Each structure stands twice: as structure tokens, then as C-alpha cells.
Amino acid sequence: MQARYKTYFKWTAMIAGGSLAGMVMIAMAAYMYLAPLLPSAETYRNVQLETPLRIYTSDNRLIDEIGNRRNPVAYEDIPQILTDALIATEDVRFYSHPGVDIQSLLRGFYGFIRGERRGGGSTITMQLANNLSFDSDNVYLRKFKEIPFALQIQRELSKEEILTLYLNTIYFGAGADGIGAAAFVYYGKDVSELTLAESAMMISLLPCPSACNPLTSPERSIERRETRLRNMLKEGMISREEFQVADNAPITALRRNRNIEVPAPYVAEMVRQQLFDEYDEDTYSQGFEVTTSIDGDKQLAANQALTEGLEIYYDKRHGYRGADANYPPNPLEPNEFWLQHLQPISAFGNQQPAIVTNVEERSFTALLKTGESVQVEWEGMSWAYTFRSRNEAWPPPETASDAVEIGDLVRVKQKDGQWELGQVPDVQAALVSMSPTNGGIIALVGGYDFRRSQVNRVLTPRPPGSNFKPFLYGAALEEGYSPASTINDAPITRGDYRPHNYENNFLGPITLRYALKESRNVPAVRLYDQLTSSKVLPFAAKFGFQTQNFPRNDLTVALGSQDVQPLEIVTAYSALANGGFKVDPWFIKEITSDTDGLIYQSNPLTVCENCQTSQDKTTEIVVPAPRIVDARVVYILNSMLRSVIVEGSGSRVNRELQRGDLMGKTGTTNGPTELWFSGFNRDIATTVFVGFDQPEPLGEREQGATVAVPIWIDYMRHALDGMPENTMKRPDGIVDLLIDKTTGEAATPGETNAVFEYFRTENAPQTPDSRLPSVELNEEETEELSTETIF
């Protein structure tokens, strides 16, 4: 028996020794493999200051802040209560272990075997090792890698240096890397000024900085703060009285960074992309401050005009498409059940997600994700005709239950203190406003809501329709035509192509002024056919259109069939507004950085009468914009675009704004799938585009005048508020002569329909019977015209 025990113990000892030797060999092999991969102290000891990219309007209001903030602090500046809160919560044996706590690791491993949650076993030093180097989806593999690095850190740094490095590198949420930045972001103070309650709150953020912080989840953050305070009380770090005072302290955290004053996310993304192309990841940490050309007040007006315009002028007119979903009430706790469904749903535009909790005959009650209940009266929902198609919305609601029912996930918005039933538009739009003087972008909105879609439609090419026609007519004026030149509004066929007018009729001979004012398609095609692409496309190219991509001898170009960006359109119209000078679009005024100060200053092409060209270093040198078109051509074309506003498709502009300095042109493509309006005075040019991202008909009743024009009006009403009327000055070399406004022929005073028309001096008729330039019909078209109805 004794021999048997000896043999047993002998084999047990051998197995244990072999296992231990094997574990040591595995550990040594792992260390030898990982040791060369471990960073040296020099690479992580010093934490650098990081300041996010900040983007401002031209009047110094914050548009956005991109990146995280880091403001390293010294150990001497960290209050004892903060390190105590950290140690009491994360690593109570911090000062006694060598960077790895075997007891905690075994406890964590035992919990893993038993399927119990007993903590992960990571020390502060191991967490620091992970923050500085390793990352893995597998928590236990990550810990295996952390161990040798933690041991190395322990050898190379003191305990105080480890605490300092940990607190300077850990993420605290709200864009704050490190405790120095977090103290400022949440409390607006230096880390040394943090109170016990604030210190405990900071440490409570570490496992879940985004979901647990006092800004997004105040109730949860109070519970987590209490746990940290109890840990400190348990370890004897604070007294019972200190615990009570800190536990009862109210939440005072407010986000002190990224207080956006002028939301312009599409502008911010344009800035971010431009800087990233040059500075890569340093874009987000080197303290770049970018001042843009954006006018803060005008940007706010543009945001509101586009958001509300899409809702009012298009989406509501086409009916209510119904609830996004329906969640039948939980009979035990319906509000909590509904709130759980609301939390992940974002607000878009000015519309909040809500769930209908009660329906009366002419009103309903809805629950917001904040827990607040709101009442929607009949006036706020009577618009909700049932959507049937883009061309039909019927029938109208007669009671609230015709539109909503309990459990419906809907959208609501507040207007003038009253809540309304809303609906997130499925159509999109863009608005861009520019200074004709130097091309600076004054306001830019690339879509209904950046959170819903980051596609910047200001930069997305789409067919402009009749928005392109001014450049066809401008080419004609440059070739010697005048607004009084006649063109036959009569059928034209080229191969299989046979254009038609929106009204599906023909008017016979009309003047160019009338043809542009009424946006007649057939006369435009006929004019393009006579001028040819060799004359029209080079003229349009002067204004910035990428006509090298346009097809030659394609008559549909006359009607704006080729894709162009809204930014291209507004740039071209800016050249009309400024009298014929080429300006380039730009949006970055200056860039500074923390280390280098001013690193970029814009100096755009500028339209000016007396540009400073001296080499006096105290005077800013202006780069004069080059003239691209005869001023007289532009002046006459502008007068034709003024006719569009006074009595054409843009007459709503004249009725509502009642200004004598506005010109512009609508645009509507086949379908219609795109709606446009571009207009200007001498100070501001603005383009509005409306359409689906995947082109589809908007509805047979829609035109540029029905949606794009009122959005443009709403923006320009604010943009021009308080600004005197301002138009291009009349250049020399233009004469006014009487003509018959219907036939375009020279007239004498007192004749019916006699009006004054503009002519370039060299092209003006010298006698009443002088022949004006016109677009001729060939013999075949004359015969065809005789078979068509003219009315």
C-alpha cells in the first residue's frame, strides 16, 4: 500500500512538474513572440495635445467640430479624489501588484468556467496596455496579450506615471480623450477643480462613455455615480458625510464643446474632405480652425427654407403615406414599451418620432422619446389626405382615426406653439447661394437632413431643364440676335426627335424675349439648331459648364438634357449677375492651426472697378476677375430674365418679394423628374433643385414654379432683408428702340403694343423697315407648319 502511494505521488509530482514546465515554456515562448511587438516607453510616455477640427461661419459662429479633444495633465494636477475613485472602482490592489493581479485573473477565469460574471480581471495597468496597443474581438486573447505589456509598463513607469498616462488616454465620451478634456467638456473647469461628485461621475463613464454619460442618460449616470461613491466609502477613501453630500449633488454637466450655432453639415463635410486630402488623420487632432465664406444668418434661413419648403410645397400636397410602423400597446406598461421602440429612432429635419397613445374624434395624443405627451389638434392633421400616387391624394380625413390609430409610429412637429402631424419627405432638394462678386458660397444645403442622407446634392449632377436656356439665348445675343428677333414656335423634326411645348400648342412667330419668358421648348430647339453646338457650347463653357462632356449636334441640349451640378448652375448665374465676369466657387476663407498659425488665406477672383494692384504689402492685393462676355450681352439677357420674374414662370417672385432687382429662370425636366429655379440680383445668386435621388416623376402638376420657386422665395426673403435693390449697371453701347412686342418689328410712338427694347448699338435697326435677325423656317418646315394648329 505504501509503495502504491509513493508511486502515485511520484507520478502526480511528475505530471504537475511537467505541466508547470510546459506552462512556463508556453509563457516564455509567448513572451519571446510578443516582446518584439511591444512598444517602448518612449513611444507612449508623452501624450500629445489633440484639438479637433473646428469650422466657423464668416461671422465666427461654430458650424461643426470634428474629432476628439485631448488636453494632457500632469499628475500633480489630478485631485486625489479622482485617482481614489478610479482605484476603488477598477483596481483596489493597484499599489500592491506588479501590473498584473493574479488573484483577479483567476477569479475572472473561474467565472468564465462557471458561466458567471465575476469581473474581467484587468488591472489599471492592463487596461492602459490595451488602450495603447492591443485590440481584439476576443476578450481573453486580448488579456493574454495585455499581460506581458502590462508587466513591461510596470517596469518602465512608476505607479503615478501609470495613473497619469491612463487618465490622459482613456475616452470619456462627448469627444473628450483624457481627463483634461473631459473636465472642460462636461464641467467647463480644470481637472484640479473637480469636486468629489464630479470625479465619481467621470470615473462612472469609463465602461460606457457614450451610453452612460450625464448628457445622454442622466438617471443612469446618477446610479453609476452612486456605485463609485460607495466603492470609495467601502475602501475608507471618503467619510459617510462626504458620501451623502456627493450622492445628493445635482447633475451640473453640460456639453461645453461642439455647441453648434449654425448647423451646416454639408458644408462641414466639404471642409473635412478638403483638409483630409492634404493632412490625412492629422485633420482631426492638430487644432485646425477653418473660417468659411458662409453667412450665418443666411445659412439658417436656407436650412429653414429647404426643410419646410419640401414639407409644405411638395410633400403635404401629395398626401399622407401612413405610419412608419405600428406597435400595439403592452397592457402592463404601454408607455415604457413604446419608449423602448422610440429610443433608437432619430429626428429628421424638424420632425420628432412619436407613437400615438390615444385617438379622439378630431385630435390625438402622441408620446415623444423624451417621455413627454403632446396633443395634435385637427388643424394640425387635416392636411393628411390619403396618398394614392404622385398624381392623386384622396380622400381627405374626416376624423382623426382616418389618419392614425393607437400604436402608430408617426412624426410630429411644432409650429407656432402647436403640434402637427408630420411626415419625412421622400423627395430631396438642394440650395446653394453665392456672392456674384467673388464666388464665395454664402449658404449651402445639400439635402433635407444630413443624418438621413450624406449625399450632397449641390455637387450631384442632374439635368437642369430650362434652367440652361439663358445660356442658349445668351449665345444668340452674342451672335447678333436681339430680344426682338423672331423665332417660329412651330413643329420641328430632326430624325426621330420632335420636341413639344409644355402646353402642347404652338404660337407661330414670337420674339426671343417672349420665348424665354414663357420657356417655350420648340423655339429653343429651333434656335439651337440654327446656332449649332459650335456656337452655343463654347459660350456656355465660358460660364463654367463642363461642355466638353456634352454631345455635339444633339438638339436636346437646348432644353437642358445634360447633367450639371447645382453648383455649376449658380456659378454661371453669378456671372450673369456681376455683369459678365468669371468667378470660381469657394468656401474656405482661412485656415489656422495650433502649431503654425495662419496657413491659408483665400484670395479669390473678384469683380471690382478699381482693383488694388500695387505691391504695397500693407494693402491686400485683389485678383481681378476676367471678363468672359460683353457687358451689353449680359445686360440685355438680364432684362430678358427680368421678364421671367415680372410676367413669366417666375412671377410669384415678383408678387411676393416686390423687388425690382430680381431676375431668374425656372427649370422643369421631362416627367417631371427635376425642378429648378435660379435667380439673382447683383449681391446674391441662388439656385434651388428638387427631385428624387433615384429619378422618378414628381407628379404631372409639378413645375419649377410650384416647388423650387417658393423655396427660393422663402430663402431670399431673409437673405435680402434690409438690403437695398442692386442690379448690374447699364453699360455704354446700348440703345432703346420702339418695337411691336408681339412681332418684334420696329414701331413708332402711339402704335398698339409698342414697347422699348434693348439693342446693342451696332445691331439696332436704323429705319422702321429695317429687318431684324430672326430664325428662318426652311421650305419643308413651312409646309409642315401649314398643317399644324397655331393658337
Alpha helices in 483-624 (DSSP H): 512-517, 521-531, 533-542, 566-577
At 499, is the secondary structure helix, strand, or coil?
A: coil
Q: Cell 446693342 maps to which residue?
A: 760
Look up residue 111 and give its three cell numbers.
Answer: 467565472
Side-chain half-sphere CA neighbours of 159 within 13 A: 12
Alpha carbons 141 and 368: distance in angstroms, whole number: 43
- Residue 50 pairs in a beta bridge with 70
DSSP class of 493: -
Choosing from 50, 65, 90, 146, the catalytic residue is 90
479 an active-site residue? no
786 an active-site residue? no
Alpha carbons 763 and 482: distance in angstroms, whole number: 8
E strand spans, 89-162: none
Alpha carbons 398 and 412: distance in angstroms, whole number: 19
Alpha carbons 383 and 393: distance in angstroms, whole number: 10
Q: Which phi-psi region, left, alpha or beta, contains residue 4 (left: φ > 0; alpha: ψ -120 to 50)?
A: alpha
Choosing from 104, 466, 482, 639, the catalytic residue is 466
Indicate the length of the chain as a whole number: 791
Alpha carbons 491 and 783: distance in angstroms, whole number: 10
Alpha carbons 393 and 385: distance in angstroms, whole number: 6
Q: Are strands 69-70 and 486-489 parallel, antiparallel or unpaired?
A: unpaired
Alpha carbons 87 and 231: distance in angstroms, whole number: 9
Q: Which of 626, 588, 620, 589 is nearest to 607 (CA)?
A: 626
Alpha helices in 133-256 (DSSP H): 139-156, 159-169, 179-187, 196-204, 218-234, 240-247
Could you give the residue numbers annotated as active site? 90, 466
